[in-house]
Structure 1
């Protein structure tokens, strides 16, 4: 028997008629190591359990008739959400349709939600370090007419004290400030995904960025973490325009 589904309402000031939610690992039907509210079909979990978890999520999202899931491949590709049965290969989606939710799945990578300040358009993006370096957030932002009118939310990801990377990752962010990388042991660095995203988006003209700085790797009771566990479920970050 599943416990109550764990869903977070972001502390993010949105225009009337727009809603966003973040899921946790709590409350679904999936068994270990995907316990329990896993929403990903590609990680080895029982498909029936995942689909039941997705139905439970849909019931919790007031006014949502469909969720646009993606086949995420650490790309910089953005698609228009349409809510059909085909799951496109992309790492971000955007829509101006009401009742259709944009969603991304993560387990350490950075989920980013976008909303036009008049509530007429939303988007969601999945930014691992490769996608972030390749411009997935900039491509998602480019779907909007004016970056200065876009509100951005950075959802929980692996935190700067846990994200240990090699010199090749640091080199991919030649534009990032020294604040985003702290020297570790040997040639290792501690990277700050939210800090890098903030710098990139602000340079592109975004003026309003909110964030939840929870670390997915260190909070095992609330979040899935691929780096911590290997075999792991995925949580979702979702945004939609109400009917």
Structure 2
């Protein structure tokens, strides 16, 4: 099976892709293109998958740069291929041609950024914690430090868990309401005392409040489409021991 790569017209001429799970070498619960080096999948199989991704971006695997994700608001700026241990961060930016920036997700938001006028790109892993703590704004700050202009930055949120599948408890809701009562717009009533959280809408709100030039969500739900996407929450509900990780990539 060939790779399936979702793209957005908003990112225009910049080479990028939100890769689905199709076209990979993994099997079992990881069936498909599992790119999670931290998963319990066979490391050599994950390397095969990641090599296929790099080749699809017309680069060697050594030029696929990725942070060690920890649900933070920290951003890594890279100008050359990575060697040694990956620094802990949840976003990555570059102005260097020939480098691809990669982010792994399995329900959280993968967000790809581009200022094609300044030739600066970025990628962010934005779950609820990272988005709330400012990883999207920090990514744009880091891009500006490389010469981008905020009004020229375009951002696309890739496959993420949608509101219909993201049930949370009252303490989660209170956490967001304490930040600002306006955050209530991102919640809908669920069963009993549960609420349904709209993570992509929250991400778009944060981007637009920060002055991004343009932003959109691809409107793909990771939880509801098991054939195309990995989902941490779906795997947890199914009692599976582990889950695959999707990869999203952008390059100059």
TM-score (norm 1): 0.92
Match of 1:127 in 2: 126
Match of 1:56 in 2: 52
Give per-residue Cα distances to partners, 1:156-215, cap 9 Å, x unaligned: 100011011122322333335433110112221111111111111111111301221111
TM-score (norm 2): 0.89
Measure, in 2, the Cα distance between the counterparts of 1:172 and 1:201: 20
Please state if 1:151 is matched with 2:154: yes
User: How do 1:43-192 and structure 2 match up within 5 A?
Assistant: 43-62=39-58, 66-81=63-78, 82-86=80-84, 87-145=86-144, 146-173=149-176, 174-175=179-180, 176-192=182-198
Which ranges of structure 1 fall in alignment gaps of 5 or more residues?
none
- More deviation, 43-52/61-70: 61-70
Contact 2:23/2:33 (<8 A) preserved: yes
Hey, which of these two has a bigger chunk of helix by percent?
A: 2
Match of 1:217 in 2: 223
Pairs aligned (count):
237
Structure 1 counterpart of 2:4, from 3, 6, 15: 6
Q: Which runs of 4+ in 1 moved over 4 A?
A: none
Match of 1:26 in 2: 22
Measure, in 2, the Cα distance between the counterparts of 1:15 and 1:98: 16
